[in-house]
């Protein structure tokens, strides 16, 4: 009887043997793809696996539909499964691992879909407690309350992809144009800007009680890498740095942060502000074009839902040359305007945000360079134009739509006698004796600039608040996480 049963089993399995062995032994291991790779459609027909988070769930009597996103794309991948694979743990926000066959989709809204054979819930998410709701479009201000979760929203995940691509674009620009990247220190004994808005660095712990200074001198979080770049510009003709900077400014405005990123560069052997403005404009245009080309969907989300119509402004910024006006011309424009300003616009006064935005609109709502500021408004290192009676410095700011000042720079004072006199005037000759050494040994005319990275993102996306373009905003009375 046993032999007869074995023969029957063998005969029955004969027609299924290939399928049986294929399933257990010959079936290929699923190819793990990111959602963006699956959406490209190059792997249609393949057995694949995707991992990500559920953005929507829709259960029907026969089928189950999910949309899964892993952060690699604004668009999510549709998952189609039989209702038997439904699971109470499959909810909005849950983490899943899905295996199945990638197929062309009959629905015009997506080119491909994944026909699931297996859905594994990796991490649960309670949709009742989750602060973002599946059908709601949350404002940037609302999601800002949840810095630990806001990266899971469409808007902020788009922002982070744009930010990443913009970083790549800036590094690429400098590399292609012969700049050497310098890692300038975060801890420094210098107050580059001279404004005194510094975070002092001190060690913490009982073993340090009574220590006057860990480094033997007062040290601070850097407000700028400029002075360290100037050191390097004595050996390299083109240098740059891109890193965090810190300002202890007691402000909760839409334009200021206590921690932000700066792009800074120094160019040696230059006698003209025009040399700097050409680099600034070229870098701005190159980085913007790169972002528009590589993050088209993500940028479109902001231009459609956050700042409708802003794309026209961005296109104009990319296509048109930036006008250049002097500070004196800017003051004349402000004083001739019919607009009433809160702050004075007399010659010698610093330009305020309201002035900067007006000048941008006056010049066609495109970026505008303002040059040759009053000498007394600029730090000790700005080059003296020696143009009495209106005493100005060879300094330049780039003003952009919606933001105001984006970038500030100057020619540096390379003349030892003038620099020493200025340092003596402000009582810093001893502190910056090393800076004077740079002028004693192989000094050359040079200049540089610093660009606020977050303000650049605000400019091209039209985002009103700087806190919405950085992953974890730090500002006075707020340091969440």
- The band of 195, judged by pLDDT with boundaries at 50, 70 and 90, is low
- Same-domain check for residues 403 and 449: yes
- Same-domain check for residues 93 and 167: no
Cα 344 from chain centroid (whole Å): 34
- Same-domain check for residues 199 and 303: yes
Stronger pLDDT, 474 or 8, i.e. the higher one: 474
Cis amide linkage into residue 389, ω under 30° from 0: yes
pLDDT higher than 60, residue 23: no
Instruction: Provide the residue range defining the domain that includes 108.
Output: 31-123
Spatial contact of 414 and 238, defined as CB atoms under 8 Å apart: no
- Same-domain check for residues 117 and 220: no
Residue-level pLDDT at 14: 36
- Same-domain check for residues 85 and 207: no
26 in a structural domain: no
Q: How many CB atoms lie within 10 A of CB 180?
A: 15
The CA-CA-CA angle for residues 425, 428, 429, to 5°, reads 85
CATH number, domain containing residue 286: 3.30.930.10
In percent, how much of the chain has pLDDT > 90?
A: 79
Would you give the end-to-end CA distance of the chain in angstroms?
72
Q: Rounded to 5 degrees, what are φ and ψ at 368?
A: -135, 135
> Rounded distance, CA 460 to CA 468, Å?
13
Task: Report the DSSP beta bridge partners of residue 370.
Answer: 325, 397
172 in a structural domain: yes
Three-class SS state of 373? strand
The strand pair at 180-181 and 77-82 is best described as: unpaired
Segment among 143-152, 190-199, 426-435 with least mean pLDDT:
190-199
480 in a structural domain: no
Task: Report the DSSP beta bridge partners of residue 59.
Answer: 64
- The band of 8, judged by pLDDT with boundaries at 50, 70 and 90, is very low
- Same-domain check for residues 97 and 190: no
Average pLDDT, the chain: 91
CATH number, domain containing residue 36: 2.40.50.140
- Same-domain check for residues 256 and 358: yes
Number of domains in the chain: 2
pLDDT higher than 80, residue 22: no
Q: How many CB atoms lie within 10 A of CB 5?
A: 9
- The band of 11, judged by pLDDT with boundaries at 50, 70 and 90, is very low
Q: Which residues have CB under 8 Å from 228's CB, separation 6+?
A: 182, 184, 185, 188, 241
Three-class SS state of 244? strand
Residue ending a domain, choose from 123, 140, 169: 123
- Same-domain check for residues 86 and 162: no
CA dist 146 → 80, 83, 141, 160, 215 (Å): 31, 34, 10, 15, 37
38 in a structural domain: yes
- Same-domain check for residues 156 and 117: no
- Same-domain check for residues 242 and 372: yes
- Which H helix or E strand runs over 63? strand 63-69
Residue-level pLDDT at 287: 98
């Amino acid at each position: 009887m046993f032999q007869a049963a074995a023969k029957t089993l063998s005969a029955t399995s004969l027609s299924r043997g290939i399928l049986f062995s294929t399933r257990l032994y010959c079936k290929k291991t699923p190819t793990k793809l990111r959602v963006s790779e699956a959406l490209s459609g190059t792997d249609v027909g393949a057995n694949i696996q995707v991992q990500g988070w559920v953005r929507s769930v829709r259960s029907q009597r026969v089928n189950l539909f999910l949309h899964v996103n892993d952060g690699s794309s604004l668009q999510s991948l549709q998952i189609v499964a039989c209702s038997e694979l439904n699971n109470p743990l499959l909810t909005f926000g849950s983490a899943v691992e899905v295996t199945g066959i990638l197929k062309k989709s009959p629905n015009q809204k997506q080119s491909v879909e994944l026909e699931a054979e297996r859905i594994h819930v990796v991490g649960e998410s309670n949709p009742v407690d989750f602060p973002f709701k599946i059908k709601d479009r949350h404002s940037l201000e609302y999601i800002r309350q949840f810095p630990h979760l806001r990266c899971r929203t469409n808007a902020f995940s788009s922002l982070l992809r744009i930010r990443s691509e913009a970083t790549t674009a800036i590094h690429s620009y400098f590399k292609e144009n012969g700049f050497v990247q310098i890692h300038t220190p975060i801890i420094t004994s210098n107050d580059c800007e001279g404004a005194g808005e510094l975070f002092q660095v001190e060690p913490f712990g009982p073993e340090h009680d009574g220590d006057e200074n860990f480094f033997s001198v007062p040290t601070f979080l850097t407000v700028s890498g400029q002075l360290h770049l100037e050191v390097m510009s004595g050996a390299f003709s083109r240098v740059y740095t891109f890193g965090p900077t810190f300002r202890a400014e007691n402000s909760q405005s839409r334009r200021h942060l206590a921690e932000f990123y700066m792009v800074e560069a120094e160019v040696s052997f230059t006698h003209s502000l025009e040399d700097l403005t050409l680099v600034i404009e070229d870098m701005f245009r190159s980085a913007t074009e790169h972002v528009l080309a590589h993050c088209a969907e993500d940028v479109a989300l902001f231009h459609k839902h956050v700042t409708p119509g802003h794309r026209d402004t961005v296109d104009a910024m990319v296509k048109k040359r930036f006008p250049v006006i002097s500070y004196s011309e800017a003051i004349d424009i402000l004083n001739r305007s019919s607009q009433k300003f809160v702050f004075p616009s007399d010659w010698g006064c610093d330009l305020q945000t309201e002035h900067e935005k007006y000048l941008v609109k006056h010049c066609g709502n495109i970026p505008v360079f303002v040059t040759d500021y009053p000498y007394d408004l600029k730090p000790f290192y700005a080059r003296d134009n020696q143009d009495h009676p209106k005493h100005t410095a060879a300094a330049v700011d780039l003003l952009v739509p919606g933001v105001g000042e984006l970038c500030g720079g100057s020619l540096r004072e390379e003349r030892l006698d003038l620099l020493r006199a200025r340092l003596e005037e402000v009582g810093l000759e001893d502190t910056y004796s090393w800076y004077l050494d740079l002028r004693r040994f192989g000094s050359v005319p040079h200049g540089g600039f610093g660009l606020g990275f977050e303000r650049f993102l605000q400019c091209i996306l039209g985002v009103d608040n700087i806190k919405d373009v950085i992953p974890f905003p730090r500002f006075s009375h707020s340091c969440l996480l």
